[in-house]
Amino acid sequence: MRYVMRQKLLSWGDDFYVRDEQGRNVFFVDGKAFSFGDKLSFQDLAGHELAFIKQKVLALGATYEIYRNGELAALVKKALFAPFHHRFSVDIPGPDDLEATGDFLDHEYAFRRGDNVVATVSKRWFTFADTYGIDIADGEDDVLILASAVVVDQACHPDDGKRH
């Protein structure tokens, strides 16, 4: 399934919608303004929280926790030392870990489980600078992958204009 993210500019707390490829709102990401560290609530359109994203403030490097139903579902961490390319690890309890590699600043990267690409993120399908698509393979956990893509966006494109 292909999703479209277009971050709303000049919005308190980074609120934005995730849309399907027909342009219909599918999910809402509610940023928590004035919080210590990034905190985001990934919700369905009825306002039910599907995932909660929290930045680990005292961690070395960009590290975020994704919770589902109050339990840790994934730990997303930017690699500190990746000499030839940037990467993020998505540590999921059990054997289903993911790794994201590519050009994060330009939204051109892929999530992989081992050698298999399970999702791709790309701006090349869109003419708007702040719009990018996420194409997720059938049978994957769309919410977890979308939440992980939100984490990558938060880590690589923070509000204050600085880059991590």
Whole-model pTM: value is 0.85
> How far apart are alpha carbons 132 and 19 in whole angstroms?
11
Question: Has residue 151 got a pLDDT over 80?
Answer: yes
- Tokens representing 73 are 């579902």
- Tokens representing 44 are 């369905």
User: How far are the Cα atoms of 23, 45, 54, 128, 144 from residue 118, in angstroms, in the given order?
Assistant: 22, 25, 24, 25, 12
Burial of 108 (0-12, 13-18, 19+ CB in 10 A): middle
Q: What is the pLDDT of residue 81?
A: 61
CATH assignment, 2-156: 2.40.160.200
Domain limits of the chain? Answer: 2-156
Beta carbons within 10 angstroms of residue 133's beta carbon: 18
Give me the amino acid identity at 62. A
Q: What is the pLDDT of residue 10?
A: 39
For the chain, give the mean pLDDT: 82
Beta carbons within 10 angstroms of residue 54's beta carbon: 18
pLDDT in tens, 8-67: 543 446 688 899 989 899 999 888 754 556 788 999 999 999 999 998 876 566 789 999
Judged by DSSP in three states, 25 sits in strand
pLDDT in tens, 119-140: 999 887 666 667 888 999 999 9
